[in-house]
Amino acid sequence: MSHPATQLPIFRLSLLGVVLGLLLAGCQTNPRTSGNPTEADANIRATPRLPTMPQSLRALPTLFLVGDSTVHNTSPGLVGWGDAIGGCFDPAKIKVDNRAHAGRSTRTFRTQGWWTQILADAQPGDFVIIQLGHNDSSPINDTNRSRGTIPGIGDESTNIVNGLTHQPETVRTYGWYLRQYLADARAKDLTPILCTPVSRLPTPGKELDTTLHAAWMREVAARENVPLIDLNRLALARWDGMTPGEIKTNYFVAKDNTHFNRAGAELNAACVVEGLRALTNCPLATFLLPEPAKAVSP
């Protein structure tokens, strides 16, 4: 039998190997695409991330934001409301993680892996606000983006060979995809909150596709008994009494009638906060910073 003293160097070497292994693992970075892909980059997929630490070891819960370019944008001069809302929450109580990506619909945010990535990173007790719909009215199948969904909230489906990925795919309705987000979030013990797509620039006498998707989202929220922030109506109310030209100048970018400048993003963020404060039995509102004191007339 060998003497214990002869085994000590081997033990130290083994321990050193374990420590080095842990240090190397700790030096690995969580891969993530830099910035926000443009709408033309519709075929880009989420980069797999390493699992995050258990909720019991995390200091704060996380609010994830799911959306399109009206929620997060990196193009010069364009700002999403998710990029402006972080300052409305108490950073000592919650982390805001804006995972929105330009050009995504309820369908492609899932099929390209962005939603799977959030589920991998989220922990029980986290929150997720979902605002999608702007791009769901696009073509269901083409060689450009292939991101559209079937109008409505039913169980209709259509089978295609995706012109972009060249893979078979079953495409569902807008409402069907929304219900999948809710089911997935609840299964993970997250608190999901639906947020209607903010309106594009109002045009007198013209019904916008975002208005239709907002109505369908309201129906899904009512049927699924899930909190709803009606950003579409809240934003329109803020613009009440203004002409389309005034709204355009003050809140939208010059190049289109969909994307917002900094003032527009801040207005939409304020509307989201307003809708959140109005919700009953939704604990996310408790993480908001106090409202600024209102001036009192003498």
All domains of the chain in start order, with CATH = 34-287 (3.40.50.1110)
pLDDT in tens, 62-77: 999 999 999 999 999 9
| pLDDT (0 to 100) of residue 245 | 94
Q: Are 81 and 71 in contact (CB under 8 A)?
A: yes
Please enumerate, as own/partner, the contacts of 212-216 that have beta carbons within 8 Å and a separation of 24 or more.
212/137, 212/151, 213/133, 213/134, 213/136, 213/137, 213/174, 214/133, 216/133, 216/151, 216/152, 216/153, 216/174, 216/175, 216/178
pLDDT in tens, 85-135: 999 999 999 999 999 999 999 999 999 999 999 999 999 999 999 999 999
| pLDDT (0 to 100) of residue 47 | 57
pLDDT in tens, 142-180: 999 999 999 999 999 999 999 999 999 999 999 999 999
The amino acid at residue 4 is P
pLDDT in tens, 201-256: 988 766 667 789 999 999 999 999 999 999 999 999 999 999 999 999 999 999 99
Among all chains, which residue has been given the structure tokens 């106090």? 290
Q: Within 13 Å, how many C-alpha atoms sit on residue 259's CB side?
A: 21
State which H helix or E strand residue 120 sits in.
helix 114-121
pTM: 0.81
pLDDT band at residue 199 under the 50/70/90 scheme: very high
Q: How far apart are CA 112 and CA 118, in angstroms?
A: 12
Q: How far apart are CA 132 and CA 139, in angstroms?
A: 16
| pLDDT (0 to 100) of residue 58 | 63
At a CB cut-off of 8 Å and minimum separation 6, what does 155 contact? 172, 173, 176
| pLDDT (0 to 100) of residue 103 | 97
Taking only Cα atoms into account, the Rg of the chain, rounded to an integer number of angstroms, comes to 23
- Is the model's pLDDT at 23 over the cut of 70? no
Q: Are 216 and 174 in contact (CB under 8 A)?
A: yes
| pLDDT (0 to 100) of residue 9 | 40
| pLDDT (0 to 100) of residue 71 | 98
Mean pLDDT for 186-207 is 90
Query: Which two three-digit tokens encode residue 279?
Result: 């919700």
- Is the model's pLDDT at 26 over the cut of 70? no
| pLDDT (0 to 100) of residue 291 | 79
Q: 3-state DSSP call for residue 15? A: helix
> Which 8-state DSSP code applies to residue 82?
G
| pLDDT (0 to 100) of residue 292 | 63
Among 38-42, 229-233, 289-293, name the most confident range.
Answer: 229-233
